[in-house]
Amino acid sequence: MFEYKALSDQELISLLRTGDKYAFTEIYNRHKNLLQNHLYKKLGDQELVKDVLQDLFVKLWANKSQMPLTDNLPGYLFSAARNRVFNHLSHKQVESKFISSIQVFFSEDNYITDLKIREREFAQIIRQEIEALPPKMRAVFVLSREEQLSHEEIAKQLNISSQTVSKQISNALKILRVKLGLLFYFL
């Protein structure tokens, strides 16, 4: 086995292109510190520097067979690192714009307006589902929930038993739960 430290960058690239992991390790050890210092000056965050470096070298290994035979390996690595910094900054800028737009949305009462619209739409859907109930069941349910009459009062008014009133309200609630539950699920 020969000494990898004695090899030139071009020789290491040639070996790397064939899948030589020791050549990869030597390239990493040889250029890691300079890249790390350069990235830290640009990013100012050691954890982010580690992430960018790891990404750079993972991609280098993954694409080893397409690695260009360059006379300037440090320049190639610095360019790759610079591109990753640009990508990171671009991503941060998009992320920042998105967060700002959400903050504007919430601060401009759009959120409350949206909630009010949804509330009205949902109330209308509930009204439609109540209207779709069988006529006697609907009458009992409306007197119970909207007129807020007791079961006995509804029974007297409709000339039915209190037990029938209770059963009709129970059935109406079951039907509405199923229909409105599906609606909630799909929303």
Within a 13 Å sphere around the CA of 170, how many CA atoms are in the beta-carbon half?
6
pLDDT at 120: 85
C-alpha 181/C-alpha 132 separation (Å) is: 16
Contact criterion met (CB below 8 Å) for 141 and 172: yes
pLDDT at 156: 92
Fold of the CATH domain 109-186: Arc Repressor Mutant, subunit A (1.10.10)
Q: What is the mean pLDDT of residues 8-35?
A: 91
Domain with CATH 1.10.1740.10 in the chain: 4-106
- Least reliable range by pLDDT among 9-23, 68-82, 89-103, 155-169: 89-103
How many other C-beta atoms can be found within 10 angstroms of the C-beta atom of residue 93? 10
Fold of the CATH domain 4-106: Rna Polymerase Sigma Factor; Chain: A (1.10.1740)
What is the pTM assigned to this prediction?
A: 0.49
* Residue 107 CA from chain centroid, whole number: 22
Helical residues (DSSP H) of the chain, grouped into ranges = 9-17, 21-43, 46-62, 73-107, 110-131, 135-145, 151-158, 162-186
pLDDT above 70 covers a percentage of the chain that reads 91
DSSP class of 149: -
Nearest to 54 by CA among 28, 74, 73: 28
Domain with CATH 1.10.10.10 in the chain: 109-186
pLDDT at 66 over 80: yes
Residues in the chain: 187
Q: For the chain, give the mean pLDDT.
A: 84
